[in-house]
Chain A
Amino acid sequence: MTERFVTRGFVGRPNQPGAGDTRDRVPPGQYLTTDFPVLSAGPTPRTSLDSWSFTIEGLVRAPMTWTWPELMALENREWVVDISCVTKWTKLDMRWRGVSVDTLLENVDLEDKAAFVIAYSDGGYTTNLPLGDVLNGQAFVAWEYDGKPLAPEHGGPARLVVPGRYFWKSAKWVRGFRVQERDQPGFWESLGYHNRGDQWLEERYSGD
């Protein structure tokens, strides 16, 4: 159906937080929340910082790996961004600390054919992003949230954050990027969720 069906008796609560000046920051079909819900498909992996590393491999002239102290030593900054999860919550002004994906990619030589990034994580999770979705300040690898080390259930020690896409693209427990010429659906993208996941276009599920 193209017309939306009006539900008898439903008026909603237009005065909920998010009405007025923040309403234009809430994508279609989302509601505002003030807490930080947790969603993941399996147990929370634990990797000690001593053995932790982050790698960029694939279509790069030479792969690059950073240890935890080396990652911390990269130029980093605070990011304040709005996040939308496909499960319908949106949280405004989430404050993170992390390193821009631009900074990470400056340390490798991308081959000309490079077009997609597959982010991979402890526990086997993957998600796919076109390079164009993560360059130019659109994505960062974060290790602090709200001034504290990122909690394991929220993806610590480090997670990818891509505010312009539904939150499943912000891979928790991220350990690296594989740069590819061809796109390759990740975990949720293979299980019925949208390949791109732009929350402003409401690209929730495959075919949206």
Chain B
Amino acid sequence: MANPIAWQLATVVAIRDETPSVRSFTLGLPGWPGHRSGQHVDVRLTAEDGYSVERSYSIASEPEREGEVDITVEQIPGGEVSPFLHEVVVVGDRFEVRGPIGGYFVWQAALGGPLLLVAGGSGVVPLMAMIRHRHRAGLEVPTRLLFSSRHADEIIFRDELDELASAEDGFEVIHTLTRSRPSGWSGYDRRIDQRMLGEVLEPLGVGARVYICGPTALVEVAANALVRLGVPPDRVRTERFGPTGT
């Protein structure tokens, strides 16, 4: 019997706004055992009266950073935990965390590529851990991120993704916006569909490893389309969140 994954006390050491509704929290965890990109943590909050809640959040940071992890959290209106993290938590606050958790939706250098990453909204978070790992480890695995957001100002990690892509080391980001487009927008402007996936997959070929994370509808469309395009189902890994990820 394995030892339980222990709860640790995390200290919030930095908070960063990513978009108007998405915020990253750097959690200092001196006893952090390390993780693989794509894994998540459980967060537990406890009130004075003993009332306690738990939620799972994907880790956004790469494994190369020691003793801390970033979680990137979208505020869900009416939620119980995300509004608390956004509106109440300040640097120096502490709460309980345990992890890393999850052993399938992970990517590390040894798995190789090429890599096709498909994200919808905050589904980009575990994929960002893979992209950051690829960069920090100096890997040149051909990697394309197809990233669907509703509006341009809701694109999470936009500047960092642009900067990583500008290195021209085999990483490319392809955006699509589904609700509104700024003038001069040159990316896709519709929901992810099979034709779009075919175009984005083409330079990588059907031997790509695929990771898809986003709302259920996006994940279903993308995974089914990629299988129809010839990617073997066992090379397509998915992670989904419903509208309840509060």
Residues of A that sit less than 8 Å from B by CB = 1, 4-14, 16, 28-31, 33, 35-45, 87-89, 123-124, 153, 187-188, 191-192, 204-208
Contacts and interface: CB of A to CB of B under 8 A. Distances in A.
B50 A13 contact: no
Contacts, number: 133
B9 interface: yes
25 contacts: A1-B9, A4-B44, A4-B46, A4-B50, A4-B52, A6-B46, A7-B47, A10-B84, A11-B47, A12-B51, A16-B80, A31-B53, A35-B243, A37-B216, A38-B216, A42-B223, A43-B223, A43-B224, A43-B236, A88-B55, A205-B4, A206-B1, A206-B2, A206-B5, A207-B2
A43 B96 contact: no
A8 to B, nearest CB: 6
Contacts of B96: 1, 4-5, 7
A205 B39 CA distance: 13
Given A5-B46, A31-B246, A38-B240, A43 B233 contact: yes
Consensus secondary structure, chain A interface: loop
A173 B3 CA distance: 32
Nearest to A195: B1
B163 interface: no
A5 B2 contact: no
Contacts of A16: 80
Nearest to A38: B216
Top 3 A-B pairs, shortest CB-CB distance: A37-B242, A191-B103, A43-B223
Contacts of A39: 239-240
